[in-house]
């Protein structure tokens, strides 16, 4: 029996190249409101259900001290982004906050739900940054309503670019030496002594060419005494 092999040759002209993709942004949504520990908030984009977020959740399924980014593609444009009070059915949910955001082409954004002693609001950050070929890059956002201005030290080295960061402030990315187990220390100025005092210490691996956002969250003194709402530090690997 003869075997017939058919070979088809094709050529690819410039006009046959793949079309340019439409404009798109990448969006991540993070819940820093400690009152949502153990209870999720629904995220609505233009009144359409986007997903649930509980305390310290960015949608990546990891709610501990170290998360990876969870960006979703979304069309560019102007959006109304809201959070609800509970994860009840949409028709029974009440919006606790709603804001307008403009998302641009080829840009990464994170939108945060904040709780300032029971008054909810949102803020956003632009996350794009070029990695450093020899170092890691880190930044800090202070989302703890009662921590006061804070600074960062790595082991005994004070990071001058991350200093006196007040509530709702975000620093720029700064390049630091990579390390497998650095001692990341969040410091605050003790009003009684005027000295820099340790608030919390964590350790996250800092890798070459990686870019991280550290999120200070929770309360130094939770009103209801819930230890799950006490101040803590999480890190998200953005890129």
Distance CA 184, CA 206 (A): 10
- Per residue in 148-166, pLDDT (tens digit) is 999 999 998 999 999 999 9
Distance CA 206, CA 117 (A): 33
Phi and psi at 35, nearest 5°, equal: -65, -15
Q: Which residue has the tokens 């530090």?
A: 233
pLDDT at 12: 53
Q: Are 53 and 59 in contact (CB under 8 A)?
A: yes
- Per residue in 74-89, pLDDT (tens digit) is 999 999 999 998 766 6
Q: Are 93 and 47 in contact (CB under 8 A)?
A: no
Distance CA 29, CA 130 (A): 21
211's tokens = 């870019």
Distance CA 11, CA 38 (A): 58
- Per residue in 162-184, pLDDT (tens digit) is 999 999 999 999 999 999 999 99
Q: What is the mean pLDDT of residues 49-62?
A: 88
Distance CA 119, CA 98 (A): 12
Question: What letter would DSSP give residue 91?
Answer: G
> Residue 18: which pLDDT band, with cuts at 50, 70 and 90?
confident
């Amino acid at each position: 029996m003869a075997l017939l092999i058919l070979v088809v040759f094709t050529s690819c002209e410039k006009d046959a190249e793949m079309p340019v993709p439409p404009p798109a942004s990448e969006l991540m949504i993070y819940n820093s409101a400690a009152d949502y520990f153990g209870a999720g908030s629904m995220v609505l984009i233009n009144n359409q259900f986007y997903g649930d977020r509980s305390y310290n959740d960015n949608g990546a399924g990891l709610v501990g001290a170290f998360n990876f980014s969870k960006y979703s593609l979304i069309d560019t444009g102007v959006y109304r982004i809201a959070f609800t009070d509970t994860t009840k059915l949409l028709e029974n949910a009440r919006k606790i906050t709603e804001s307008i955001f403009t998302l641009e082409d080829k840009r990464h954004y994170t939108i945060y739900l904040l709780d300032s002693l029971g008054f909810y609001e949102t803020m956003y950050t632009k996350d794009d940054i070029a990695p450093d070929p020899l170092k890691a890059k880190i930044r800090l956002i202070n989302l703890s309503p009662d921590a006061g201005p804070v600074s960062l030290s790595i082991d005994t080295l004070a990071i001058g670019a991350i200093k006196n960061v007040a509530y709702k402030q975000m620093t720029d990315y700064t390049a630091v030496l990579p390390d497998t187990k650095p001692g990341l220390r969040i410091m605050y100025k003790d009003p009684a002594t005027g000295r820099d005092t340790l608030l919390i210490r964590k350790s996250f691996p800092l890798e070459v060419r990686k870019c991280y956002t550290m999120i200070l969250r929770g309360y130094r003194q939770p009103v209801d005494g819930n230890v799950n709402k006490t101040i803590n530090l999480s890190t998200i690997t953005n890129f």
